[in-house]
Structure 1
């Protein structure tokens, strides 16, 4: 049995938005794309990541106006990354140690090549677990 790598389970459809994007626009994009995060980028460099949870906890719960607050105001700038050839177990341990639910997948040539979430890993490591089952289920609309 070959070791599964991050490349085997990562999502390659990364959605980029500029930091001046409002949270309302970002939330609509997440809904339309059926994703839980966007990468914030201004020009060629990555600024950070914003998740649906970030929007709720850092903005909505603080009574910030989603139509006026921008991604740049709530973005997570400390990026946690893995390499495509890393094992899925290495990625899971990194998520545990860094207390994050997703990590960016970067290589030396292309830079950002994907994102892997805890749900992606759960489906592969233990598909019969509760988290694996939830991750495989169709989204609620």
Structure 2
């Protein structure tokens, strides 16, 4: 198996995460993002993250609706249904989770507490071969063909043979290429 497939989320994540309280205004959040040179802020009022606010959220939920950013709180427009991952999980699993959910950021949580953030840029920087998973996901999103979650082709690294495949299928809890699936079914 490739060394890259054994990289963990911890190996690639950013631990210096910028957090804000849900009561601050969108204008304040935009100022903090600009000052800190980040595209998102984690929203929390205790150890556990409550939400995430991104530049896209601000554009889609505030600017496009011509709302006054100083009058809208982060808590009103933040994304609340957070998708998290644990730091010891493999990086290829994180890339698949991002692709499956069409997101570019995963909050890294250990025992309920925020320990970092993993972005698609982090994944691409440390493991270029996983970039294909993220690129293919974007390509499928742009394509007008509609897939159900189960039908949607998922590229990645086979968990049995370690080679990259355009289409992985889940078999017995693992993502495997077509050849390995056929071998497993033949057992």
- Shorter-chain TM band: 0.7 to 0.9
Aligned to 2:40: 37
How far apart in 1 are the matches of 2:47 and 2:93? 28
Question: Which residue pairs with 2:121 in the alignment?
Answer: 119
- For residues 1-141 of structure 1, the aligned pairs below 5 Å read 1=3, 3-108=6-111, 111-126=113-128
- Superposition TM-score, scaled by structure 2 size: 0.64
List gaps (5 residues or longer) in structure 2.
135-187
TM-score when normalising by structure 1: 0.84
Cα distance between partner residues in 2 of 1:123 and 1:45: 27
Structure 1 unaligned runs (5+)?
Answer: 132-141
Deviation at 1:45, TM superposition (A): 3.8
Alpha-carbon distance between aligned partners in 2 of 1:20 and 1:105, rounded to the nearest angstrom: 23
Count of residue correspondences: 130
Structure having the higher Rg: 2
Looking at both structures, which has the greater relative contact order when contacts are Cα pairs under 8 Å and sequence separation is at least 6? 1
Residues 1:122 and 1:44: Cα distance change in structure 2 (over 3 Å): closer
TM superposition shift of 1:44:
4.0
How far, CA to CA, are the matches of 2:94 and 2:49 in structure 1? 20
- Greater than 6 Å deviation, 4+ residue runs: none
Corresponding residue of 2:140: none
Aligned residues: CA RMSD: 2.1
CA contact (8 A) 2:48 2:114 kept: no
SS of the residue corresponding to residue 54 of structure 1 reads helix
